[in-house]
Structure 1
Amino acid sequence: MNAVPTSSETLTVGAAARRLGIAAPTLRSWERRYGLSPSARSAGGHRRYSPEDLARLRAMLRLIDQGVPTAEAAGSVRDRIYLAQSPTVTSATSVAEGTRGRSHAVPKPLPVRRSARSRTDGPGKLADLFELANAMDSDRLTHEVARSLDKSGAVEAWTSRLMPLLVEVGDQWERTGACVEVEHLASDAVAGGLRYHTRRAVERLKPDESERAVVLACLEREDHALPLLAVAAALAERGIKVRTLGAATPVSSLSDAVRRIRPAAVFIWSSTPETADGDALRTLARTRPSYQLVVGGPGWQTLGKPDGWVNSLAEAVAALVAAVRP
């Protein structure tokens, strides 16, 4: 019989949802609808998500990101063991371990000009999004995020509204000690809106399967993967095939994925100096045909802005599109 993971190795539904970038009600709904129940229990008998549970759910999210219907994605991962099959599931333990002792800070987004924070034009304007977040109205907030993405496109919506929203709620929490749940709700709503927008773009544009894909990932110590969803949404709008590996991906797992996928480009996000690993970039597997390595996020600046570093979502998208369609 397999050993039951200790409570320090497992996550509550709320913590698991935050690590996966989805809303807690969504995770509970998947349990009811698709039988994706947590398999572990705490010392007190409460159900908890184990690293293996997170691995299965991450695999499901990757399928959804690729346009697979939710019910079909759930069916494909239910009751299967992904530790030996998926190149990224070994990061699940790192995700669970990495959350202990850390603050719930909003991930540092792709940089933007300061003036963009004051924009209020168009649907889902910043002031309205901020008000909905503080009202804890997750459904309307997610709807307005999706509406803003549909109207303005991922680059404009992220730059002028979504990223500033995350900054504002994070600043509010640090400044006033306001309820941290507002911050979590805003992150969940932005993630949900981005995922929905990506799925719709994939369904509408149907990426050319003959084109090589773009791989999006964070390295092992980075568990803030929300900017990857923004990049994925912007690429989906352009009909680019994307494979999102997500947070806390060991370089060995990323190398395995690169060898299997043979992408046109690899994008690696780092929010802080602690998560930027120049040695990992140097040991990342190379393939033939070769791929373009693009890195984004403020973490890389401490390493002297390595080759391929981009300073905004627009720059990241331009570099990745050029790699796929030179």
Structure 2
Amino acid sequence: MAELSGTRTSLPRDAVWPVGHVAAELGVPAVTLRAWERRYGVGPSLRTDGRHRRYSTADVERLRRMIALQDAGMSAIDAARLSRRPPGAPASVDDLLNRLESYQLAEVDDVLAHLFDDRGAEPAWDEVIAPVFRELGRRAGRRPDCADLEVLLAAAVERAAQHHAQLEQAGDAVLLVPCPGEAHTAPLAILRAALIERGQSAIVLAPGGNDLSLLAAAQRVRPVSVVLWSMARHAGQAALRRRLEDEGHQVATAGPGWPRSARDLDDLHQAVTFLLTQHAR
């Protein structure tokens, strides 16, 4: 994927750009821009008196968003679809925290939706969502009256991730499994969204299953990999891993509920890279 040019031009709002100028501005070959117009409908919206096609400033900004989404690992077709949505104000940790604390739940949903669409699942998690969870965790250690905010954020994140990655990918799936007794599954929703952005099908099982139901689900899905997620250690989770492996499944463990010596995946980027590599074999 071509890199964006090192210096970004400040574009006049009424600028009209031929394809060569847009290609130079974005660091993308003109032939690529023409291909995107044919394949995805991402092209110039203006015409000159001589009927020549020209890009508006809004067209260029949309292309810029599309490139940024692809650089984050998203497929071109999904990046083109998401780039049609105008970006919201840049989301920050404080911005999301303030909306949570004031119970502006519709605005929380809107901030998260724009965050996923503008940045992609992995940057959204690393740059904003995970720091907010950490801050709420620190506060909960000092005073227990903010536990409701963690619950609200987890539910909002799962909704946003589900909506962002609502189209299932074809092909063999990765099965994302919360260990029995585990209720905190927002990280699995984020991992699913990040994998689907990269063309890898993934399924998150709902919390509340027991060993037998989880083993049966793995038999039905026949996944390329199983991720066992644990936020807090639960009795029997190591035995469940062994039973899955005994049935021939490729299993990776994730989450702080696994001791470091038994934990395979430590962060989102490592998990995405590992699972994509496993599927490519």
TM-score after normalising by structure 2: 0.63
Q: 1:260 to 1:182 in 2, by over 3 A?
A: closer
- 1:304-323 correspondence runs (5 A): 304-305=261-262, 309-323=264-278
In the alignment, structure 1 residue 300 sits paired with structure 2 residue 255: no
- The amino acid of 1:319's aligned partner reads F
- The amino acid of 2:129's aligned partner reads L
Give CA deviations for 1:266-286 in whole Å, capped at 9, x if unaligned: 111011233672111111265
Q: 1:123 to 1:253 in 2, by over 3 A?
A: same
User: Residues of 2 paired with 1:255 and 1:165: CA distance?
Assistant: 34
User: Residues of 2 paired with 1:152 and 1:237: CA distance?
Assistant: 11
Local SS of the residue matching 2:199: coil
In the alignment, structure 1 residue 165 sits paired with structure 2 residue 122: no
- Aligned equivalent of 1:245: 205
Q: 1:212 to 1:240 in 2, by over 3 A?
A: same
User: Among 202, 207, 210, which residue is 2:169 paired with?
Assistant: 207
Give CA deviations for 1:90-138 in whole Å, capped at 9, x if unaligned: xxxxxxxxxxxxxxxxxxxxxxxxxxxxxxxx82211111111111101
Task: State the percentage of identical aligned residues.
Answer: 27
In the alignment, structure 1 residue 232 sits paired with structure 2 residue 202: no
Local SS of the residue matching 1:221: coil
Larger RCO of the pair (alpha carbons < 8 Å, separation 6+): 1
| Deviation (angstroms), 1:291 | 4.2
Q: 1:130 to 1:276 in 2, by over 3 A?
A: farther
In the alignment, structure 1 residue 216 sits paired with structure 2 residue 159: no
User: Residues of 1 paired with 2:151 and 2:101: CA distance?
Assistant: 11
* Native 8 Å contact 1:291 1:323 kept in 2: no
User: Which structure is larger by alpha-carbon Rg, 1 or 2?
Assistant: 2
User: Residues of 1 paired with 2:106 and 2:184: CA distance?
Assistant: 23
User: Residues of 2 paired with 1:292 and 1:318: CA distance?
Assistant: 15
Runs of 4 or more consecutive aligned structure 1 residues displaced over 6 Å after TM superposition: none
- Aligned equivalent of 1:148: 115
TM-score after normalising by structure 1: 0.55
User: Residues of 1 paired with 2:98 and 2:163: CA distance?
Assistant: 22
- Aligned equivalent of 1:133: 100
* Native 8 Å contact 1:198 1:237 kept in 2: yes
Local SS of the residue matching 1:149: helix
Q: 1:278 to 1:125 in 2, by over 3 A?
A: same
* Native 8 Å contact 1:234 1:317 kept in 2: yes
In the alignment, structure 1 residue 272 sits paired with structure 2 residue 240: no
Task: Structure 1: give runs of 5+ residues left out of the alignment.
Answer: 1-121
Local SS of the residue matching 1:294: strand
| Deviation (angstroms), 1:151 | 1.4
| Deviation (angstroms), 1:234 | 0.6
Task: Structure 2: give runs of 5+ residues left out of the alignment.
Answer: 1-88
Farther off after superposition, 228-237 or 239-248: 239-248
User: Residues of 1 paired with 2:96 and 2:151: CA distance?
Assistant: 14
Q: 1:217 to 1:284 in 2, by over 3 A?
A: same
User: Among 151, 156, 162, which residue is 1:189 paired with?
Assistant: 156
User: Residues of 1 paired with 2:228 and 2:212: CA distance?
Assistant: 14
User: Residues of 2 paired with 1:157 and 1:284: CA distance?
Assistant: 32
How many residue pairs match? The answer is 193
* Native 8 Å contact 1:222 1:275 kept in 2: no
* Native 8 Å contact 1:133 1:182 kept in 2: yes
Q: 1:154 to 1:276 in 2, by over 3 A?
A: farther
Local SS of the residue matching 1:273: coil
User: Residues of 1 paired with 2:244 and 2:146: CA distance?
Assistant: 40
* Native 8 Å contact 2:180 2:234 kept in 1: no
Local SS of the residue matching 2:206: strand
